[in-house]
Every structure is written in structure tokens, then in C-alpha cells.
Amino acid sequence: MTDPLNTAASAAVVRRRRFVAAGIAGLGGAVLPARAQTRWPDRPVRLVVPFPPGGNSDALGRVVAERMRDLLGHGVVVENRPGGTTQVGTEFVARAEPDGHTMLLAAATSFTVLPNLRKLPYDHESGFEIAAGIADYVAIVTARNGLGVKTLPEFVALARRQPGKLTWGSAGVASAGHLYGEIVKQQTGIDLLHVPFKGSADLIAALGGGQVDLIIDGVGLGMARNGQATALAAFFGRRHPDLPDVPALPETGLRIDLPAGGWGLAFPRGTPRAIVDQVGSLAERIMAEPETRARLLKASVVADWSPAADYRRGLAQARTYYGALIKAAGIRLEG
């Protein structure tokens, strides 16, 4: 028997996609509600990236901006606003005019980790209009050459024989690599020493020079390919295509659960729904493009579009997960 609710929902999705397609095929802009009385965009759109240039978030932002510029026929400009573990850029967008011309490359950190570490000047639950989830991050568990391990279980076994002596480096306190290391510690029972740096770029020299024994970061991809370090696993649910012989986390035999994460696209609260929906549909199209997916993989980013409601739900679940992890690990931000 046909479910009338599902049928209605399907019809609504079809109508929404037809509306978006019509906008793209026409003048490339959405007709806004009466209060705006203009087409969108009528000037360049800022895509705020709450990270410095050069990292995987920046690479993702620039690919998205380039493709949206092509599809909209109007400028989409990346604006890097790093600082405060993503708080600076996220807060800037939260306070921006909700006219569709300021968009956030929303990092999961802003909505899942930071709320568990400090009082925020933005509403992490309802202060934004989410357009979609767009991508996930693939960190590579990478050991220094000479450590004598080739697999993640071998590293865990070594750490158990030398409690508190092995080190892992991260891009900073409460960074993804820091939290991933805490997940490994918590769920395997090993004791590692955390060494925070100022960014992922510093990890290349630190691991290559033997200052740390392990990293769990996207920069491990290039180091493994170049023979500078040994890849033990992809910290993800499936293998990285550029490291086909390196197992994904579920294949290592270690039971390590991963919370939701990655990136989405968001606007300030109050941005017209027509704009938000159009960007969500554009993102779905962009993330499905083979060329886009291949470009992002080079930056350890996996194109993974999801509807706004699903992305928001994943953030809520991850926020609870990280709250427990942060409390157990005693993680605190200075300042």
C-alpha cells in the first residue's frame, strides 16, 4: 500500500527540485519573497571559511565557490576568517545580514566541539539556516618511519607495552586530530602523550623529523604517498582511493566508533528559504560531479552531500558524543 505521507514528501521534493532547476536554467537567480523584491544574487556572495588558507577546508571552500560561480553566473568569493578554533568566522556569519550574500562553510567543530568547551556568542542549534551537508574529512593514521609498526593494531600493541611513552601530534588543542587521538586512547585503553602544534602543516616536519610518533590528520596522505611516513589506516568508514592498500578503520579489527563530522553550507538565521534551498540543491549537484569528487580527494575531503535535516541531526548526535569525550579527556581551551 502506498504511504500518503511518503508520497506527499516525494512530491514536495520533486516540486522543490523543479523550482531550483528552473532558476538555474533561467537567469541563474532565485526570485525572493516580496520583502526583498530583487533577484539573488545581485552582487558577489562571500563564502566564509573559518580556517586559514592552504588546508583541506580552504581547498573545499575554493572548489565549492568556483563551481557555484559557474552555475550561478555570479561571483562567489572565498573569505578566510580563521581564529578561535573556527569561532571567529562562524560568529561573523551569524551576525551578517541575512540576505543570502554571506554564506558559511560550516565546520562540524563549530557546532559539536566548541559548545562543549566555551560559551559561544552564536546560537549553535538554531542560529543558522543550514543548506546541506556537503563533505566529510578523511584523516590518515600515520606513523613515523622507523617506529617499527605497519598496522594500527601493531601501534596499539606497542603503546600497551610502553604506556605513556609514545606521542601523537595534532594541529592544536581540540582540533580533529586531537579528538581522534583521544577517541583511540579511550576506546583501546592505551596511554599516549599529546603534542599540539599550531596547524596541520607543522605536523609534516614533526612526524618526518621524529618529534612525534603518530598523527591522525589529512596531511598524512601526502606523507604516506611520498614515503615520508607509514600509513596505518584511514580514519574513516572506507578506504581512501589514493591509498588503496591501506585499510579503513573498520577493517583494522579495532572497535572504534566515529561521530558525525565534516562540513556543510549555512546562512545567517532569517535568510530567505528560497535561497537556502537553491544552494542546497546546487551543492547536491556539485558534490555528485566526478571531477569535483576527484579534486576534493586530493585534499582528503570526501564529497558526501546530505539534506539539511540529516546534517543538523548528525551535528546534534556528535555534540553529545564529543561532550562526553571532552569531559573524560579533560580537554580545555586557553583564553
Taking residues 199-211, report their average pLDDT.
92
Q: With respect to residue 252, please indicate whether it lies within any of the assigned structural domains.
A: no
pLDDT at 35 over 60: no
Assign 19 a pLDDT band (cuts: 50, 70, 90). very low
Same domain, 111 and 153: no
Is 17 domain-assigned?
A: yes
Pick the range with the lowest mean pLDDT from 21-25, 94-98, 210-214. Answer: 21-25
Give the chain's domain count. Answer: 2
Per-residue pLDDT for 31 more than 50?
Answer: no
Residues 294 and 279 in one domain: yes
How far, in Å, CA of 120 to CA of 111, rounded? 10
206 and 283 in a common domain: no
The structure's pTM equals 0.83
> What integer best gives the mean pLDDT of the chain?
88
- Regarding whether 324 and 266 lie in a shared domain, the answer is yes
Which of 200, 235, 270 delimits the end of a domain? 235
Q: What is the mean pLDDT of residues 289-306?
A: 93
Mind listing the pLDDT tens digit for each residue in 66-85?
999 999 988 999 999 998 88
pLDDT at 80 (0 to 100): 96
Q: Same structural domain for residues 128 and 23?
A: yes
Name 168's bridge partners. 194, 214
Domain co-membership, 45 together with 108: yes
Domain-located, residue 247: no
Higher model confidence: residue 332 or residue 271? 271
The answer, yes or no, to whether residue 260 has pLDDT greater than 90, is: no
Query: Would the pLDDT of 204 be above 60?
Result: yes
Is position 265 within any domain? yes
Position 32 pLDDT exceeds 90 = no
Tell me the residue range of the domain where 170 lies: 139-235
Both 28 and 52 in one domain: the answer is: yes
